[in-house]
Every structure is written in structure tokens, then in C-alpha cells.
Structure 1
Amino acid sequence: MIFEMTTQVRVSNIEEGHKWYETLINKHPDFIPHKGFVEWELIPGCWLQVAEGELTEGNGPLRLGVTDIEGERERLIKELTIERFEIHSRPEVPVKWGTFRDPWGNRIGFFEYLDKKEEETQIKSILGTDSSRV
């Protein structure tokens, strides 16, 4: 039985990586177990680890669900000076999505549900909360 997950990205400078990902995720890390390593619990049981070390090519993208992909794109262009990324959609796919790179080459992406009722149901299910407060 799988009940939890982690994914890891590597950065060449942990201080810069910590700051960059803190801005991306828009919150402080949940866990810093030792030097060169920080972790965020993105949703219950789903962790993002940022580790200082040898960079890996071709990984990802790590896609993060958001409620306003255009707004998040504009925020990151302003706060992290990422390049403007294209937002894609297809009639048979229930989300729109886009991908960008962090300063270390890791591919990161966002997706947003097109059906806002489905999005609300997902948020409630995952977080176990009233999504109007999320």
C-alpha cells in the first residue's frame, strides 16, 4: 500500500535553492533535517525535497496544482524572474498546464482544473477542508 510520497530536486547552492523554492511554494519549509536539505509538505503526505548536490538532467516536470495558473505565472515572473511559459490545453484534457525551469534546470510545472467544481471537490478531498478557506 502506498500512502505517502516524496520527490526531490537538486540545486548547486542550497541557500539560493531554499530561497527560490520558498518563493515558488509561498511558504517556509516544513522540515530542515540537516545542512544542504530542505523539505515542504505540499499537501498531506506529499513532500518536495530540495537537496544540494549534483544536478540531474531530464527530470520532471514536477507539476503542482494551482487554482489560477495565469496568476501564479505572473507572480513567478515578477518574484523569481522566470521566463514567461506557455499555457496549454486540449479539449480531451480536464486541465490546462504549463512548464518552466528553475535556475538549476529542474523542470517545474503548474496545472489548473478547467471545471472549478471538480477543482473544489479535489481540494476538499485532499485537504479535508472547506475549500472556500483554502
Structure 2
Amino acid sequence: MFFEMTYQVRVIDITEGYNWYKNFLNKDVDFKPHDGFVEWELIPGCWLQVAEGTPSDGSGPLRLGVKDINAEKVRLEKELNIDDFQVYSRPEVPVKWVTFADPWGNRIGLFEYIDKKEENERIKFILGKVEV
């Protein structure tokens, strides 16, 4: 049985990595166990680890769910100077998605449910919330 998960990306400079991911995630770090390593709990039991080291080619993407992918796209282009990237969708896929890279080449993506009722049900289930 799986009950938690972590996903690690590596950055060449931990201070730059910390600042970039703090801005990307819109929140401060949740755990800093030692130098060169920080963690954010994205949703209960789901951790993003940023470690100082050599980034891995071709890893990812780590894809995160958002409520408004177009608003996030605008925010990321403005606040993090991410080059313009395209929002994709296909009729048979229930989400829209984007993929881009952090400054170290780690691939990251976002997705948004097209059906907002389904999105709200997923959020309630995952976070255990009655109201979204």
C-alpha cells in the first residue's frame, strides 16, 4: 500500500532553486532538514523535494493540478520569466495541460480539469474538504 509520495528535482544552486520554487508554488518551504535540500508539501502526503546537485536530463514532468491554467500561465510568464508556452487539449482527454522547464531543465507541467464539477469532486476527495 502506498500512502505518501515525494518527487525530487535537482538544481545547481539551492538558493536560486529555493527562490524559484517558492515563487512558482506561491508558498514558503515546509521542511528544510539540512543544507542543500528543501521540501514543500503540495497536498497532504505529496512532497516536492528540491536538492542541490546535477539536474537529470529528460526527467518529468512533474504535473500539478490548478483551477485556472490560463491565469497560472500568465502569472508564470510574468513572475518567473518563463517563455511563452502553449496550453494543449484533446477531445478525449478530460484536462487541459502545459509543459515547461525550470531554469535547470527539470520539466514541469500544469493541468486543469475541463469539467469543473469533476474538478471540485477531486479536490474534495483528495483534500477531504466539504466546500471548495
Q: TM above 0.5, one fold?
A: yes
1:15-26 alignment to 2 at 5 Å?
15-26=15-26
1:99-118 alignment to 2 at 5 Å?
99-118=99-118
Identity %: 67
Length-normalised TM-score, structure 2:
0.98
Which residue does the alignment assign to 2:91?
91
In structure 2, runs of 5+ residues without a counterpart are none
Which residue does the alignment assign to 2:3?
3
1:28-67 alignment to 2 at 5 Å?
28-67=28-67
Do the aligned residues in 2 keep the contact of 1:89 with 1:96 (CA within 8 Å)? yes
Length-normalised TM-score, structure 1:
0.96
Deviation at residue 54 of structure 1 after TM alignment = 1.4
Deviation at residue 130 of structure 1 after TM alignment = 3.3
Q: How many residues align?
A: 132
Do the aligned residues in 2 keep the contact of 1:123 with 1:131 (CA within 8 Å)? no
Report the Cα distance in structure 2 between the residues aligned to 1:113 and 1:55, rounded to whole angstroms: 30
Aligned to 1:119, the other structure's residue is in SS state: helix
Report the Cα distance in structure 2 between the residues aligned to 1:27 and 1:86, rounded to whole angstroms: 25
Q: Extract structure 1 runs of 4+ deviating beyond 4 A.
A: none
Deviation at residue 95 of structure 1 after TM alignment = 0.2
